[in-house]
Amino acid sequence: MRICIPIPCFFGNMNFIDAIYKVKELGFDAAETYNWKDLDLTAVRNACNETGVELLSMCTTEFNMTDPEMRQNWLAGLKESCEAAKIAGVKRLITQVGNDTGEERQKQHESIVMALREAKPILEDSGVTVMIEPLNTLVDHKGYYLWQSAEAFDIIREVDDQYVKVVYDIYHQQVMEGNIIPNIVNNLDCIAHLHSAGHPGRIELQFGENDYKVIFREVDKAGYKGACGLEYHPTLGGEESLKKFREIYLS
């Protein structure tokens, strides 16, 4: 499994290009980011080519799939984000599905499925994969619609498109439902990316209630070929936190 460094989490105050070089200096070969609007995407791609650090994912600009009336906005944002991803050399985009509108859940579910089906021409043209993300509604994202991993996997199977997958965030799912290893290894066909953090607190992995050595071992054993992003708030300082991660999990 590759380890991916979300640059805003660790080096948010650093020039983005410098941060890519810092990721390389610390011994990692994958990174991700969220808002791409203020980035010089060509410069980012050049820095990635020079360092060998792959920028694995960015975010879409719109997060509103639960409301059918907002679907065209989401699709327009997806198209714009796919064009940006192609410039930057990024193959995956993370999207949130949006807040619970108060409508019947089945109707919101269907709205998400329809949005992803309508995205097919955009995704096929760009070769970019879009990943929906279940989030926790108890601590960080109150009011968000999609919190059950099972529903996320159902959506992916209903859409049935190679360019539509899930980013499974271990931290969010530990907050909401646990059962982490079975939910990952039994649904690898739906998962394109992982996120991780220690719970409670969304901090370093070693300070939380999950044994990530076991999780990583079992996910690797199951044949997962993707990456895991370290999406946490470092309490040790960004650089020191990543050095400690290498010592504990990669030695």
Residue 192 host element (H or E): strand 191-196
Round the CA-based radius of gyration of the chain to a whole number and report it: 17
Domain boundaries, the chain: 2-249
Q: What is the pLDDT of residue 174?
A: 98
Could you identify the residue written with the tokens 């991660």?
A: 245
- Tens of pLDDT, residues 39-83: 999 999 999 999 999 999 999 999 999 999 999 999 999 999 999
Long-range contacts of 247-251 (CB under 8 A, 24+ apart): 248/205, 248/206, 248/213, 249/3, 249/205, 249/212, 249/213, 249/216, 250/3
**Contact of 6 with 36, CB cutoff 8 Å:** no
Q: Please, what's the largest Cα pairwise distance for the chain? A: 50
CATH topology of domain 2-249: TIM Barrel (3.20.20)
- Tens of pLDDT, residues 214-244: 999 999 999 999 999 999 999 999 999 999 9
11-26 mean pLDDT:
97
Q: What is the pLDDT of residue 70?
A: 97
Q: pLDDT at residue 251 above 90?
A: no
What does the DSSP 8-state code read for residue 186?
T
Copy the structure tokens of residue 136: 């926790």
d(C-alpha 157, C-alpha 97), whole Å? 16
Half-sphere exposure of 109 (CA within 13 A, CB side): 14
